[in-house]
Every structure is written in C-alpha cells, then in structure tokens.
A and B are shown apart, each in its own frame.
Chain A
Amino acid sequence: MGNITLGRYIPLDSPIHKMDPRAKIMAMLLVLIAIFFPAGWTGYAIIFAAAALTIIIGKLSFTFIWKAMKPMLFMLAFLFVINAFLLKTGDPLFTVGSFTLYSDAVFQTLYIAVRLLLMVMITTCLTATTKPLDMTLGIEDLLKPFQKIHVPAHEIAMLISIALRFIPDLIDETQRIIKAQESRGVDLQEGKLTDRIMAILSLIVPLFVSAFQRAEDLANAMEARGYAPGEKRTRYKVLKMEGRDYILLAGAVLLLAGMVWLAYFR
C-alpha cells in the first residue's frame, strides 16, 4: 500500500503548504471547472503552465505526479483502443488490413489524456500540500453558507476527518488479520470456491468486529470529553486568509475567465 501517491499529503515547507485551505479548495474547484471549457490547446498550455508553477513553488516533484498518473494509463490505453475502432472522422493515418486509424481517434484520446493529467496535477497540488485535518476545516467553512438549507456542515467535516484518520489504521488491521488467518492455513491465492468464500469471510468478519469496536471506543472517548454534534464549538486552529491566498484566488478566477474567453469570445 506504500505506493499509492494520489491524494497523499507530503509534509514540506513551502508557500503553498502555508496557504489557507479554503483558498486552495476554492482555487482548485475554479481551475477544475476551467479545464472543462473547450479552450483548445492554447488554453491547456496555459493551465499546464499554471499547475506546473504551483507544483514548483510547492516543492513537489514531477515524478510524484507521474506516479499518481500511472494507474490511469491503463484506462487511457483502453480508451484509445475503443476510439480507434469507433471514431472514423478526420484524416486516415494508416491502414492495416481492413482497419484504418483516423486522426480524430488519436486527438480525442490525447485530449482526454491531457485533461486527466491536468486534473491530477491540480488535485495533487491541493492534497499533497494540505494536511487532512486542515482540509476538513476548510470544507467545513466552505459548507457553512449551506447550513441555511440544512446541510450539516460540521457533521460532514467531522465524518471526513474521522474517515481519513482511520484509513491507515484499517489498512494495518487488514494486513494483520490476513497474516493471522494465513497462519491458520487460509490460502488467499487459490483453492476451491467454497474455500475462497471461507477465506474472505475469515477476513471480513474480524475486520468488521474490530472496526465497530474502534467506532464504539471513539464514540465513548468523544462523549467522555463532552462532544455533542450541533453544539457550538470553538476551534484550536483559526483559519485566516492572507495576501497570498487572495493572490491564488485571483489567479484562479483569471484563469477561468481566460478559458471562457478563449472558448466563446475569440
């Protein structure tokens, strides 16, 4: 599990790391929307430059981005094969037997690949530079306005932060249970169907038991410290927007505006 880089926080010290999570989330959303305007290759080049700049300022490495992209390559290859057979517009590139590859199949796939790459870059800029807890604080604040229409902002944020908190624990626990059952002769690689079902059960039941146990312990611990959802709570960490946060937001708005202009008003 150590190889998953998509969505992982990288503890470094950079101006991007220090930014207000609310500004970063908002900026990410704006740029993600910008990607969906048909602004052509010029537009994508501009977004790419902006994302690359953010990555450099954030001291992240491009190999890290590449690793996050890797799992999607398979999907893209699959997409290319489908496009190659279905898209018969544009110029014919070459012919093998009765099959002809057209330029639109290549460009369509490339188009999607570039969008995907940009999306991974942009989201990584956020997740790699923002601590999970700061992220939930940011989400909670951004959801606040929706409380008027009964969106439980605080509860949603608390749910997300608890889930994030327990993912590594549950991964460890799963590995421990796998080892314990393997010691009892469980074979996860092969075996008859009935044996396989037994093997899976022998993992799932203990995992649920321990997850419920953890949930109950956590609930008790929170209650013992006076936590009640819906009550007014103060915060240890108060978020504050500074100059650089406004610059980031302004940049994102400009980028979005630019894409709209490139797409419709040129």
Chain B
Amino acid sequence: MPISFEHVSYIYSKGTPYEYKALDDVCLDIEEGKMTAVIGQTGSGKSTLVQHLNALLLPETGTVKVLDRTITASEKPKRLKSLRGDVGLVFQFPEYQLFEETVLKDVAFGPKNFGASEEEAKKRALNALKLVGLGEEYCERSPLELSGGQKRRIAIAGILAMNPKVLVLDEPTAGLDPKGTESMMKLFHELNRGHGKTILIVTHDMEQVFRYCDRVIVMEDGKVRVHTDTETFFRNPAACQEMHILPPALIRMKELLKENGFEVPDDILSIDALADCIARQVKKHG
C-alpha cells in the first residue's frame, strides 16, 4: 500500500505573528518498496514533510495515508502510537536522543515501548546493532562515551530495532566523513533491497541520490516541485541547475563531453561504462 499526501498544508505557530506556512497543498504518492530521496534547499519543508509520516505533525488541512491508516487534523493521538512503530523516523543528528546507561538498553528502548518483552527487545536490539555494524563488545558500554559516528549508528539501530515497515531518515549522513557516509548509505540500500523496507531519505548529497535512490522528490517553498525517477531527473542537468541542485560528477562529466563533441548515450550510468565509451570514440577517430 503506497503512502499518499492529499492536499496537505501545514502551518507553524498558527494564529501568532510568527505564523509560517511550511507545507502548501502537497500532493504526493510514495511507492512501497522503493528508496526515495527528498531534496531541496534548507527551509523548503523537507523535515516538516517527513514528520507527517509518523504523525508527529498533523496536517492543518488535507489527509496523509500511511499503511492503511489515515491521518487528518482531527486525529486522536491514541490511535497513532502503533503507527510510530511501523514508520521508523530517524531525526537529524539522532545521537542527541541517546539517554540510557548502556548501548544495548538504549537500542532496546524503542521495542519495549511498543510492547516487546524484555527478552524479545534484547534480541531485536542485538540484531539491529549487528545490522549497523556494531558487535557485541559495544553492548555494555555507555552510549555517551562513543564517537559521533558510532552514536549515530546506535541511534539508527534504536529505530531499526522497532522493526518498522517504512524507514524515514532526515539527513542521516550530515556531518559524517565520506567513509562513514558510504557505509551508512550501503546499510540503507541493503535494508531496502534485502529486507524490503520502504525508505525515504532527506539528503543534500546528490552523489548518493544518484547511486542509491530510485525516486526523487524536490521540495521548494513548501511545495513539491518535482517527483520522478532518479534517472529521468538527472537526465536534464539544466533543469537541476535551475533548481540550484548540482548534478552528480558523472552527469556533469557527461555534459562536458557532449559539449566537446563526444557522443554520450543517456543510458551510461557508471564511470567505467563512460570511460569505455570515450575510449572507443577516441580510438575510432584517433
């Protein structure tokens, strides 16, 4: 069952002089089982959008449909708790949410809140920690004494341990080094392909969008500007530039080569394939 937004608007600080319309008549259908990127400039409403998916924010007008539940302005909070277990939301800089004495306890906190027994929660926590690449030796350490990247992994494991069907990540790689970013993206890719989870990821990293995501949503001033396949999206670099989005290096390289008289077919999507293609043309004319 897809996730859908129907004419959703959201207003912060309604009724005060600071009132701000952060979402403006958003209509969206997000496919199940896909990895979708949400991009757009800071302040365009990405975080506001994703917080509707587990009903942290209720739409001012319109409806959000997620996993056979309907979220509207008048929704009772009671019915929403189980939704939060099914839609795991990882906040930006989630390492700030760690609070337990040990890593294992912190990761088991989520599943316990959703009614898992002590034992079950522990089992799921161990599993989740393994998924994010942290071994048993970390279980009894204090989460506060670990490095930033490790804390981030533990926080994400805390959400994964809830075993959500949909995973929503708000800028999960912000502030990580390239190696950390890479392994984090590989993890999400594996959760999507191997475990069949629907993933929505807010990011500014076009290289990662290009490599790992199936679909792209561009937000602009609280509206959805574009929603399309990643491939289709990057096929038109001029349109990207116009939205202040710098296309990935490979796409820019292809553009440069085209401008200089090379023939570059659209379906070339890896650096190796591009190198082969150019080598052939150089030889032919050489």
Contact = CB atoms under 8 A, between A and B. Distances in A.
B159 interface: yes
Interface in B122-143: none
Given A179-B56, A185-B85, A206 B98 contact: yes
Contacts of B94: 180
B85 to A, nearest CB: 6
A144 interface: no
A17 B82 CA distance: 52
Contacts of A177: 96-97
Contact of B89 (A183, A187, A209, A210): A183
B18 A2 contact: yes
Interface string B37-66: 000000000000001001010000000000
B88 A183 contact: yes
Interface residues of A, number: 22
B158 interface: yes
Interface string A171-203: 001001101111111110100000000100110
A185 B81 CA distance: 7
Interface in A187-235: 187, 189, 198, 201-202, 205-206, 209-210
Interface stretch (B1-9, B107-115, B176-184): B107-115
Contacts of B262: none
Nearest to B114: A185
Contacts of B54: 183
Interface string B84-109: 11001111001011110000000001
Given A206-B96, A206-B97, A182 B84 contact: yes
A95 interface: no
B77 A189 contact: yes
B16 interface: yes
Contacts of A189: 77
A3 interface: yes
B206 interface: no
A90 B144 CA distance: 66
A12 to B, nearest CB: 12
Nearest to A178: B56
B13 interface: yes
A184 B91 contact: no
A198 B109 CA distance: 10
Interface in A142-196: 173, 176-177, 179-187, 189
B18 A184 contact: no
Contacts of A209: 96, 99, 144
Secondary structure of the A side of the interface? helix
B159 A183 contact: yes
A185 B77 contact: no
A2 B162 CA distance: 34
A179 B51 contact: yes
Contact of A184 (B51, B96, B110): B110
Contacts of A184: 84, 97, 109-110, 113, 158-159, 162
B96 A210 contact: yes
Contacts of B144: 209
Scoring B54, B84, B96 by chain A CB atoms within 10 A of each residue's CB, the highest score goes to: B96
A147 to B, nearest CB: 40
Scoring A173, A182, A187 by chain B CB atoms within 10 A of each residue's CB, the highest score goes to: A182
A264 to B, nearest CB: 45
Nearest to B98: A206
Scoring A183, A202, A210 by chain B CB atoms within 10 A of each residue's CB, the highest score goes to: A183
A210 B93 CA distance: 12
Interface in A222-250: none
Contacts of A186: 113
Nearest to B16: A2
Contacts of A182: 56, 84
A189 B76 CA distance: 12
A185 B113 contact: yes
A180 B16 contact: no
A65 to B, nearest CB: 16
B18 A187 contact: no
A73 B114 CA distance: 41
Nearest to B115: A185
Given A183-B159, A184-B162, A202-B99, 12 more contacts: A3-B16, A176-B91, A180-B94, A182-B56, A183-B84, A183-B91, A184-B158, A185-B114, A198-B109, A201-B99, A202-B109, A205-B99
23 contacts: A2-B13, A177-B96, A179-B51, A179-B91, A180-B94, A180-B96, A181-B97, A182-B84, A183-B84, A183-B90, A183-B159, A184-B109, A184-B162, A185-B81, A185-B110, A185-B113, A189-B77, A202-B97, A202-B99, A205-B99, A206-B98, A209-B96, A210-B96
Interface of A: 2-3, 173, 176-177, 179-187, 189, 198, 201-202, 205-206, 209-210
**10 interchain residue pairs of minimum CB distance:** A185-B113, A205-B99, A180-B97, A184-B110, A183-B89, A2-B13, A2-B16, A180-B91, A185-B114, A179-B56
